[in-house]
Amino acid sequence: MEFWKLLYRSSRWPSVLLVVGLCAVPCLPQNPPVEPETQQDRWPSRQGGGGGLPWDTNYGNWDNNIIIQEATYFIVASRMVRPGQIYKVACSVLKSKHQLTVRAAIQRNGVELGADSQLVKEGIPETLILRVPPTSVAGNYKLRVEGLYDSLFGGSAFVNETKLTFSQRSMTIFIQTDKPVYMQGQTVRFRAIPINTELKAFQGPVDVYMLDPNRHIMRRWLSRQSNVGSVSLDYHLSDQPVFGNWTIQVVAQNQHEEFSFLVEEYYQTRFEVNVTMPAFFFLTDRYLTGTVMANYTSGAPVQGNLTLKATIRPVKNGYRNVEAPREDVVRYFNFDESFPFWFPAPTYSSRTVPHLKYFYGVYNFHYPLSELEQYVPSLDGMEILVTATVGDRFLDEVIEGYSSARVFNNTIKLQFMGGTPQVFKPAMPFNCYISVSYQDGSPLEYKKLE
């Protein structure tokens, strides 16, 4: 018994010394002890290709117990989320010795709405496609992207969450009417054209509401299917509608779009007055020319008197010329009207507005521009508004019509092209480019350049 006790005591001391020695070795100025050779060191052929990780040759799998360095990745996705949209996430793993399973998911208030996963290799970008539900509503949206080793069983390589912005506007809805103003008893014809973010026609149902100025629903069309991307409808106004701005409201996929049109009480005039003249004149032109036509709704010419006036005003281009008059200049046209020998020529006082006493449907006017130049410093850049007033003696009705034209400077403008100042060296060739155009920037005719 004493021998066995002594043997038991002698066998305990070496293990305690070994532990103490391992703890004391780093403190001693000696070479570190040589670690015993392991089984993996004796089989270097079982190392992974370039990775230094143990490889199981029997099963061809990575050892999941080995700590792996964090992978480098690059994710690109849209920050905006829309209902019914195809949401794409571009993923690229820049540095990793493994194949990663990248999983992307869209969450709303912590609830996952859609997800997709794909195996991604190093240097090969992939795209994850997620479908946002069409019935999605506003909330706290997040995009969660995570990379996993060995599918879902090898641990997480990276996890990233980013806040997203939700927009209910998933399409563009165009609403068109056949005219901007309607009167009582007329029919409003309109159409709605919904287009998604891919500029394709929306194929879902559309709800349409007709609202009066008090926002009361006068009529509704529910679950209307588009015909080749367009929903065409019409609404007949009553004889005594509520006058004001009416509204057409279109609802598609929880998105509201409105369009307003005006309903006014008015009656068709018995005749119309039209003034036709060129869109512009030059300073070198001698006359301001045009035509005045007045016809009944039946097409017959109007018999009455005519008054013409010209209003000179600057073009509204955001600023006012200093030399331009502060108030619009108004001048009435004089008429050289001839009468029969038996009819006494009328005399006008200085306060009488000049007018054509006998007007019959059409009148061509030629007014000298030189007379208009007397009242402004320059007609360059000015707008001339010609207003024609026709009165019918029998109907006792006066109707106006107007037309406008602009006056431009038609002189030639020369301009050196290139930067300034230009460098000129004596005895050296000098190349320059000159642009020739009118004052408004329009090019010259080829004949004038020759």
Average pLDDT over residues 119-140: 89
* pLDDT tens string 374-390: 888 888 888 999 999 99
Q: How far is CA 429 from CA 258, 395, 422, 425, 426, in A?
A: 66, 79, 13, 8, 8
Whether pLDDT at 370 is above 90: no
Top CATH class, 172-263: mainly beta
- Domain 72-166 fold is Immunoglobulin-like (2.60.40)
Q: Helix or strand or coil: residue 14?
A: helix
Average pLDDT over residues 24-30: 36
318 vs 243, residue with greater confidence: 243
239 vs 25, residue with greater confidence: 239
Which of 174, 123, 172, 112 lies closest to 146, judged by CA?
112
Sign of CA dihedral 138, 139, 140, 142: negative
Task: Spell out the domain ranges in the chain.
Answer: 72-166, 172-263, 271-316+328-338+351-408, 412-448
* pLDDT tens string 410-422: 788 888 887 777 7
Whether pLDDT at 61 is above 60: no
User: At 258, is the pLDDT very low, low, confident or very high (cuts 50, 70, 90)?
Assistant: very high
Q: Do domains 172-263 and 271-316+328-338+351-408 have the same CATH topology?
A: yes
User: At 263, is the pLDDT very low, low, confident or very high (cuts 50, 70, 90)?
Assistant: very high
The angle at the Cα of 360, spanning 355 to 362, to the nearest 5 degrees, equals: 90
Whether pLDDT at 439 is above 80: no
Whether pLDDT at 153 is above 90: no
Ranking 76-80, 334-338, 364-368, 424-428 by mean pLDDT, the lowest is: 334-338
* pLDDT tens string 265-301: 988 788 999 999 999 888 888 999 999 999 998 889 9
Whether pLDDT at 221 is above 90: yes
Whether pLDDT at 160 is above 70: yes
Give the helix ranges, DSSP H, for 295-408. 369-372
Which DSSP state fits 396?
Answer: T
Whether pLDDT at 51 is above 50: no
Structure-token match 């004391």, residue found: 24
Q: Is 376 exposed, middle or buried (0-12, 13-18, 19+ CB in 10 A)?
A: middle
Q: Helix or strand or coil: residue 46?
A: helix
Whether pLDDT at 429 is above 80: yes
Sign of CA dihedral 319, 370, 337, 279: negative
User: At 42, is the pLDDT very low, low, confident or very high (cuts 50, 70, 90)?
Assistant: very low
Q: What is the pLDDT of residue 242?
A: 95
Output the CATH code of domain 271-316+328-338+351-408.
2.60.40.1940
Structure-token match 């020529």, residue found: 345
Average pLDDT over residues 206-221: 96
184 vs 44, residue with greater confidence: 184
Q: What is the pLDDT of residue 8?
A: 41
Q: How far apart are CA 282 and CA 406, in angstroms?
A: 8
Q: How far is CA 13 from CA 8, 9, 23, 91, 225, in A?
A: 9, 7, 16, 59, 92
> Of all helices (H) and strands (E), which one includes residue 135?
none
